[in-house]
């Protein structure tokens, strides 16, 4: 089966990318390009190619270890271009700069695949979202080169890595999620518990001499605010 690992877009990012795609449709006629349906938008971390079905379990286990310690990664797709070149387009894409956290995640994912028998990637990683695949291959003449849109920035918080299986149907590509690992928010609970314990054994009043607030009171208030913000963020992403 054909499979790949990817970062899915959230709903708002998918809508923003679809608007860029619509702008491109105006200058690239439908018969020249096979457009990706927005439901399939994703940023590929690693294309795995053909893999045996019995490799899924080991890939999932390696992926679980690979994402440990990673928080959600803010990403921005901001440059419309074509691979391999603008005058020889094969795919029309939105490209993203690669922050350190994403580069580290890619390295960890690559390393996690070795026990499953998958070798190194065959080309350097380039963060991009494919919007369409050009049907006519080869270099284009000056009159055939279409303008590239100036896209709005497509931003989202990448918070999960998904192993997808790819099917090729008469109507186009279809992806099925086989396994998912979430990038977790940094854990505050152990630190908060240790501070709470130290506060409970204190017998001093809530304010120190001189009118300064008790450090435990200040820390508890701060942790409450962080906890409330985290719950709000979790609610937005769900």
Q: What are the boundaries of each domain within the chain?
A: 2-182, 189-237
For 133-172, the pLDDT digits (tens) are 988 765 555 455 666 777 778 999 999 999 999 998 877 8
Q: Which two tokens stand for residue 84?
A: 């391999």
| pTM value surpassing 0.75 | no
What pLDDT does 144 receive? 57
What residues act catalytically? 42, 128
For 48-58, the pLDDT digits (tens) are 999 999 999 99
The Cα 62–Cα 11 span in angstroms is: 28
Which phi and psi angles does 231 have, rounded to 5°? Answer: -65, -40
Q: Which CATH class is domain 2-182?
A: alpha beta
Residue 88 binned pLDDT confidence (cut-offs 50, 70, 90): confident
The Cα 165–Cα 175 span in angstroms is: 6
The Cα 82–Cα 92 span in angstroms is: 5
The answer to whether residue 221 scores a pLDDT higher than 60 is no
């Amino acid at each position: 089966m054909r499979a790949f690992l990817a970062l899915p877009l959230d709903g708002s990012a998918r809508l923003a990318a679809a608007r860029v795609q619509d702008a491109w449709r105006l200058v690239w006629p439908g018969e020249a390009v096979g457009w990706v349906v927005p439901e399939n938008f994703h940023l590929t971390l690693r294309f795995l190619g053909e893999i045996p079905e019995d490799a899924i379990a080991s890939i999932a286990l390696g992926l679980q270890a690979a994402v440990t310690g990673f928080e959600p990664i803010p990403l921005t797709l901001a440059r419309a271009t074509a691979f391999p070149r603008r005058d020889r387009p094969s795919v029309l894409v939105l490209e993203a700069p690669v922050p350190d956290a994403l580069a580290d995640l890619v390295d960890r994912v690559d390393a996690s695949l070795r026990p499953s028998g998958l070798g190194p990637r065959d080309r350097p990683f380039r963060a991009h979202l494919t919007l369409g695949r050009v049907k006519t291959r080869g270099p284009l003449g000056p009159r055939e080169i279409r303008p590239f849109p100036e896209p709005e920035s497509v931003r989202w918080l990448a918070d999960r890595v998904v192993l997808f299986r790819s099917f090729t149907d008469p109507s186009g590509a279809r992806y099925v999620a086989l396994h998912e690992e979430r990038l977790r928010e940094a854990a505050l609970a152990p630190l908060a518990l240790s501070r709470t314990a130290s506060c409970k054994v204190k017998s001093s009043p809530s304010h120190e001499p001189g009118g300064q607030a008790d450090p435990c009171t200040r820390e508890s208030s701060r942790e409450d605010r962080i906890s409330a913000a985290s719950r709000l963020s979790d609610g937005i992403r769900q």
